Amino acid sequence: MSTLAGRKCRPLPAGTPALSRARIDALLTEVPGWTYDGKVIAKSWSFKNYYETLAFVNAVAWLVHREDHHPDMSVGYNRCRVEFSTHSIGGISENDFICAAKIEALGSI
């Protein structure tokens, strides 16, 4: 499990800079399967059915609510895509990676 998963999201003061591309690339190594497209970090999952998809969505919702850092999610019958960016800084922050790592840890529960 990534050390990021053990951290807690924190409020970012005004003027906090977004992460550099080099830092984003380094942190991507800690969250397998997540990608960066220049705007968001994202990952997609596939499931057997709608019930499993919604169970995953609800687990993610509970997790990110506790972190007070919410992704955009696209949900279909047997798939879900999760995208993180930090709107208040106009880019990617470590909070995005903390939440991504916590979502990855759901599979090890």
pLDDT by residue, tens only, the chain of 109 residues: 569 999 999 999 989 999 999 999 999 999 999 999 999 999 999 999 999 999 999 999 999 999 999 999 999 999 999 999 999 999 999 999 999 999 999 975 4
Cα angle, residue 78 at apex, residues 77 and 82 outer, rounded to 5°: 100
Taking the chain, what is the end-to-end CA distance rounded to the nearest angstrom? 11
Domain boundaries of the chain, sorted by first residue: 41-109
If you compute the radius of gyration of the chain from its CA atoms, what whole number of angstroms results? 14
Asked: is 41-109 a CATH 3.30.1360.20 domain? The reply is yes
Residue 2's pLDDT is what?
67
Query: pTM for the whole thing?
Result: 0.94
